[in-house]
Structure 1
Amino acid sequence: MGRLILVSLICCFLAVVVTAEDPYLFYTWKVTYGTIAPLGVPQQVIMINGQFPGPNINSSSNNNIVVNVFNNLNEPFLLTWNGIQHRKNSWQDGTPGTQCPIAPGKNFTYHFQVKDQIGSFFYYPTTSVHRVIGGFGGLRINSRLLIPVPYADPEDDYTVLIGDWFTKSHAQLKGLLDSGKLLGNPDGVLINGKSGKERKSRPLFTMKPGKTYKYRICNVGTKTTLNFRIQGHQMKLVEMEGSHVVQNVYDSLDVHVGQCFAVLVTANKKPMNYYMVASTRYTKKVLSATGTIAYVGSKIPASPILPPAPVGWAWSLNQFRTFRWNLTASAARPNPQGSYHYGQIEITRTIKIVNSNPVVGGKLRYAINGVSHVDTPTPLKLAEYFGFPEKAFQYNIIKDNPEVAAAKPATLAPNVAQITFRTFVEIIFENHESTVQSWHLDGYSFFAVAIEPGKWTPEKRKNYNLLDAVSRHTIQVFPNSWAAVMLTFDNAGMWNLRSELTERRYLGQQMYVSVLSPEKSLRDEYNIPDFAELCGLVAGLPKPHPYAGA
């Protein structure tokens, strides 16, 4: 009898374990203005809960994240979660094309699950050009305890947010862009909101001799590639943008705008202080910031001799070619688990993206294939979901082949392309300019199979890495070069494809990709949240009949 009771209790326990919902993490954020002087000039910045940068989110794979954002600014505000895939849930993407901005004095609760993801990410504002004055912070997703990572647990885990910085106000910078001018050169560089030039600046991080630490490095800046290095120490790269990678060792890393790397650093040098350095690349005047790492128990100051940065973009291209996906690591990855042979899938569509900077109405704009995107009063996803997209935008004014539209004047319009659900697509980013570009796709990770100088042709496919290209969400394109990515569009929703360079995105170098499931089922896409704000053409309308269950 006792054994029967014990078995029954075990079965009940197992049933609870099996059916238990994944853990929830709750956050309440108050978004406000604040005044600080990171480059010695007092200026207004965006703070979250009084912090600049904003608070870190520390989660694990499959956690449910609930963030209640109160907008105490004097203008609308949105946050996007850079690199988070939001499976079936573009309602939480935080872009003007997917949801109504949070009005001043109002709040919105983001609710999303970091489903089957691991890695280093960050969040930032997508409204106006708010990113230039803050509102960003780190977001990490740890592996679940049952899934081993391909390295020993570090002694500690540090987030390092690097980025270029301006001392002009948000209104001044926005005014420059609205008048058809560019932002110009940044005034400096920050590491976790500090330049390293502050008086009596405290160490940002500490290390115990002999211990190994993880540093998650993200470029949260506006327009500038940064090189990151640590005085006297090498960095073992273990993860980038949600993928474990082959563990090569680097003296420095070029981190392009929007990208994140995770490295392991061992405190195996003389116990003293050491500088982290982030310096601009491809700028006439090199700007840099430093942050101090202190060995525990030592008061010896860091050497003023900083390690040099590399020269030229060819160095960065060669570094890209060393990045390889770790195919033997246990981790969240595209299905089937651990054996996703993307190189053996037939390409169903090729889309070439060519950036351009047309002058429209006497003002500078940026475009994709001759179309310069403009946001609409009704978010594109809402218009589509309510069944009258034609009242807000027109599908497919962009062409897969940009040469078709090259001779025509640029068009100012909402830029929305339809892509068939679950098709395997090749996207080519071709850069005809003399500056480095950075592109990001929300809702997905793609395989970055090649970057090469010159123009792309179908014959270039023979140079693709079709075995272990890294699955990531941001790709750089060097001057007069191209980059190729491949992915399956299996995540239904409305997703933003954009330049990560703020001035380019704001001036139209972005578009949306509509991926509709013909089933209209909860198996493929979630319904609009009950608490979602309605604006524009759908304000006050009853919400459509919800999708049926999976």
Structure 2
Amino acid sequence: MDRLILISMLCLWAGSMPAVHGGDPIITFEWKVTYGNVAPLGVPVKGILINGEFPGPNINSTTNNNVEINVFNNLDEPLLFTWHGIQNRKNSWQDGTLGTMCPILPGTNYTYHFQVKDQIGSYMYYPVTDMHRAAGGFGGLRIHSRPLIPVPYDQPADEFTVMVGDWFNKGYTTLKKILDSGRNLGRADGVHINGKNAKGDGKDEPLFTMEAGKTYRYRFCNAGIKTAVNVRFQGHTMKLVEMEGSHMVQNSYESIDVHVGMCFTVLVTADQEPMDYYLVASSRFTKRELTATGIVRYMNGKGGPKPDLPKPPVGWAWSLNQFRTFRWNLTASAARPNPQGSYKYGGINITRTIRLANTAEKVDGKLRYAINGVSFVEPTTPLKLAEYYGVADKVFKYNNIPDEPPAQISNVALEPIVVNITYKDFIEVIFENHETAIQSWNIDGYAFFAVAIETGTWSPDKRMNYNLLDAVSRHTIQVFPKSWAAVFITFDNAGMWNIRSEVWDRHYLGQQLYFSSLSPNRSLRDEYNMRDGTLVCGIVESMPKPPPFSS
């Protein structure tokens, strides 16, 4: 069970009390990671549990909390967790990707240290090693606003984390073998809601319980590995209030598409006849619709849910139009790295444009996914460690992909991909999807402004259609088939940061890269030193630790 130290708990609730060790409050957790049987679709398979739970426990935190998670790896294989959407300011050492950290070996433990600095909202964590994400090990990460900073809606009666996603009954080890053999995973067997799917026989226990007349906060995250999911409540609307750390203009929706890797928060008011209702999650953009349901129960309600489920939307154009309704709430007070009123992103000059195009290619007869003609392979020495120890040239090459996709790809290269970015440059990144499958991209360490998604081919004149006023600041974005998406980023978070496909078979077979943004002054004001106790491996394992950055 999660352990929250008492003094941190008092600071968390009181807000004005002195923080631990004279700084921001520290909250601590201890996780024992084990195998266990799970059966989201009724078929038992080997899954990954955290403290015996599937999905894993929620991490409850408040803006600026320091989070310490001691992970005991009781698996028989290496393990790493990433904190999806947590910006880890100046601290890519704790990002939890194989390009920045050595994995936690079987039978050992490691304590992550990171701060949820200037952030609020709904996030998640999941394992990044091999295909572990397809086995579980994922859960919700909540960041509440500090008491002194008002939230643009009334305090809800309660809140619920809802992890949705696709599921494969083959088990993650079989999925890994399929990909290693050079084949595609194919379609998922189903979808789940918090690892469950109601049978609808009147015997299902409720996932959530509401009291008539009260309003509840639901935090949705898609922790699946390749399938977008639409979520909706039987008989209830959802008011969207937050998306990936940004307060939203509060529109109401009958249903919302949750693309892989994305999280958002809605308010649902229990304003219907007291009885049971279905929460529905169904696959999007698949030939065969996969549906899961869960029971939402009214206290003292009478009767089970009606059998008629609310119908899902049809087509990806509907999803594109929904994206265009998402707007950043510019009047809300909130914790954010660039405070309200001081960050006019639409008026900043772009210093560099990087266009990233995904492709599916065969290399030696096996399937690989590439970016601009290069497919990423994991080095035995994490990229960040190689850079810090001054042996980068022995592990990778900087800027080994072009800033725009080549007109024709003759041979796909297999190597680590690292793009060097000048510290504090304002960059435009264009994600181009020339394929017929929907894509989902995440950029670690940053919140970017999602200024446009459009069909067709990107060209500079398309900037005329950008939203330069209230685009949502977020960390994950979808790219529809034969379409493109544009984002703006200020690279003011020094470190080595992962840009990856959230479609995990594509990630596993090479659709990822790293941005390196180096502090020119080697100053603690820009980036933290490597922490004592950091795991080392590869060619740096026996090397002396470099001198620390100065203040």
TM-score for the superposition, normalised by structure 2: 0.96
Correspondence for 2:544? 542
Which blocks of at least 5 consecutive residues in structure 2 are unaligned? Answer: 1-15
Correspondence for 1:8? none
Correspondence for 1:134? 136
| CA contact 1:373–1:415 (8 Å) conserved in 2 | yes
| CA contact 2:119–2:337 (8 Å) conserved in 1 | no
1:184 deviation in Å? 1.1
What is the distance in 1 between the residues matched to 2:456 and 2:19?
A: 55
Correspondence for 2:373? 370
1:21 deviation in Å? 1.4
Q: Equivalent of 2:515, from 493, 513, 516? A: 513
Residues 367-424 of structure 1 deviation map (CA, whole Å, 9 limit, x = unaligned): 00001000000000000000110001111111101126x3331100000100000000
* Distance change in 2, residues 1:17/1:542 (3 Å): closer
**Matched position secondary structure for 1:462:** helix
Give the letter aligned to residue 494 of structure 1. Answer: M
Range that drifts further, 224-233 or 36-45: 36-45
Residues 104-124 of structure 1 deviation map (CA, whole Å, 9 limit, x = unaligned): 001110000100000000000
Correspondence for 2:13? none
1:387-536 aligned within 5 A: 387-403=390-406, 406-536=408-538
Q: Equivalent of 2:43, from 37, 41, 44? A: 41
Please identify the structure whose Cα radius of gyration is greater: 1
What is the distance in 2 between the residues matched to 1:540 and 1:533?
A: 12
Q: Equivalent of 1:274, from 265, 274, 277? A: 277
| CA contact 2:352–2:426 (8 Å) conserved in 1 | yes
What is the distance in 1 between the residues matched to 2:333 and 2:97?
A: 32
**Matched position secondary structure for 2:406:** helix
Give the letter aligned to residue 354 of structure 2. Answer: I
* Distance change in 2, residues 1:441/1:141 (3 Å): same
Correspondence for 2:194? 192
What is the distance in 2 between the residues matched to 1:197 and 1:167?
A: 17
Correspondence for 1:292? 295
1:335 deviation in Å? 2.3
What is the distance in 2 between the residues matched to 1:363 and 1:33?
A: 30
1:183 deviation in Å? 1.1
What is the distance in 2 between the residues matched to 1:367 and 1:17?
A: 46
Correspondence for 2:160? 158
**Matched position secondary structure for 2:539:** helix
Correspondence for 2:313? 310
Range that drifts further, 187-196 or 36-45: 36-45
**Matched position secondary structure for 1:306:** coil
Give the letter aligned to residue 49 of structure 1. Answer: N
Correspondence for 1:93? 95
1:96-135 aligned within 5 A: 96-135=98-137
Residues 310-363 of structure 1 deviation map (CA, whole Å, 9 limit, x = unaligned): 000000000000000000000022424333100000000000000011111110
Give the letter aligned to residue 218 of structure 1. Answer: C
1:201 deviation in Å? 2.3
Give the letter aligned to residue 434 of structure 1. Answer: T
CA RMSD of aligned residues (A): 1.4
| CA contact 1:327–1:468 (8 Å) conserved in 2 | yes
Answering whether residue 256 of structure 2 is matched by residue 253 of structure 1, we say: yes
Residues 427-466 of structure 1 deviation map (CA, whole Å, 9 limit, x = unaligned): 0001001111000000000000000000000000000000
Give the letter aligned to residue 307 of structure 1. Answer: P
1:19 deviation in Å? 9.0
**Matched position secondary structure for 2:261:** coil
1:18 deviation in Å? 12
What is the distance in 2 between the residues matched to 1:430 and 1:212?
A: 40
What is the distance in 2 between the residues matched to 1:387 and 1:111?
A: 24
**Matched position secondary structure for 1:366:** strand
| CA contact 1:215–1:262 (8 Å) conserved in 2 | yes
Matched residue count: 535
Give the letter aligned to residue 38 of structure 1. Answer: P
1:169 deviation in Å? 1.8
| CA contact 1:77–1:101 (8 Å) conserved in 2 | yes
* Distance change in 2, residues 1:246/1:391 (3 Å): same
Give the letter aligned to residue 291 of structure 2. Answer: S
Correspondence for 2:209? 206
Correspondence for 2:349? 346
Residues 3-42 of structure 1 deviation map (CA, whole Å, 9 limit, x = unaligned): xxxxxxxxxxx99689931111100001100012221211
**Matched position secondary structure for 1:110:** strand
1:529 deviation in Å? 1.0
Give the letter aligned to residue 428 of structure 2. Answer: E
What is the distance in 1 between the residues matched to 2:19 and 2:42?
A: 54
| CA contact 2:228–2:283 (8 Å) conserved in 1 | yes
Report % sequence identity: 65
TM-score for the superposition, normalised by structure 1: 0.96
What is the distance in 2 between the residues matched to 1:37 and 1:407?
A: 42
**Matched position secondary structure for 2:398:** coil
* Distance change in 2, residues 1:205/1:37 (3 Å): same
Correspondence for 2:3? none
**Matched position secondary structure for 2:96:** coil
Answering whether residue 372 of structure 2 is matched by residue 355 of structure 1, we say: no
What is the distance in 2 between the residues matched to 1:19 and 1:377?
A: 37
Range that drifts further, 290-299 or 146-155: 290-299
Give the letter aligned to residue 446 of structure 2. Answer: Y
What is the distance in 1 between the residues matched to 2:186 and 2:405?
A: 28
1:542 deviation in Å? 1.8
**Matched position secondary structure for 1:402:** coil
1:541 deviation in Å? 1.9
What is the distance in 2 between the residues matched to 1:15 and 1:60?
A: 14
1:217 deviation in Å? 0.6
Give the letter aligned to residue 247 of structure 2. Answer: H
1:221-260 aligned within 5 A: 221-260=224-263
Give the letter aligned to residue 149 of structure 1. Answer: V
Give the letter aligned to residue 303 of structure 1. Answer: K
Give the letter aligned to residue 216 of structure 1. Answer: R
What is the distance in 1 between the residues matched to 2:17 and 2:142?
A: 30
Residues 202-221 of structure 1 deviation map (CA, whole Å, 9 limit, x = unaligned): 10101110000000011000
What is the distance in 2 between the residues matched to 1:347 and 1:37?
A: 49
What is the distance in 1 between the residues matched to 2:510 and 2:446?
A: 21
Range that drifts further, 336-345 or 375-384: 336-345
**Matched position secondary structure for 2:178:** helix
